[in-house]
Amino acid sequence: MANYLRRTERVSVSWHYVAKLWRDNDLRPHRQGTFKLSRDPRFADKVADVVGLYLDPPGGAVVLSVDEKTQIQALDRS
């Protein structure tokens, strides 16, 4: 963040100062999740198809969702 401020805003602050501000204000940007959109030109159509299955599944169908995440163990939840 200090480098970003120096480069974009021409403001020179130390990373210690930035860390103190984050700590004092209980900010944890390193713990924020990210979401990346696909660059596939048909992405919106594909999303609409998937969402359509959830909103209006075919009669008698079972719709399952599988999310693959590496290094995360799937656990039973109550």
pLDDT digits (tens, 9 = 90+) for 19-58: 998 899 988 887 777 767 788 999 999 999 988 988 888 8
In a domain, 41, yes or no: yes
Per-residue confidence band for 78, with pLDDT thresholds at 50, 70 and 90: low
In a domain, 6, yes or no: yes
- Domain residues for the domain of 13 are 2-55
Q: What pLDDT, on a 0 to 100 scale, did the predictor assign at position 45?
A: 93
In a domain, 66, yes or no: no
Dihedral sign of CA atoms 47, 50, 54, 59 in order: positive
In a domain, 73, yes or no: no
Q: What pLDDT, on a 0 to 100 scale, did the predictor assign at position 24?
A: 92
* Contact of 17 with 2, CB cutoff 8 Å: yes
Helix H or strand E segment including 55: helix 43-55
How many domains is the chain partitioned into structurally?
A: 1
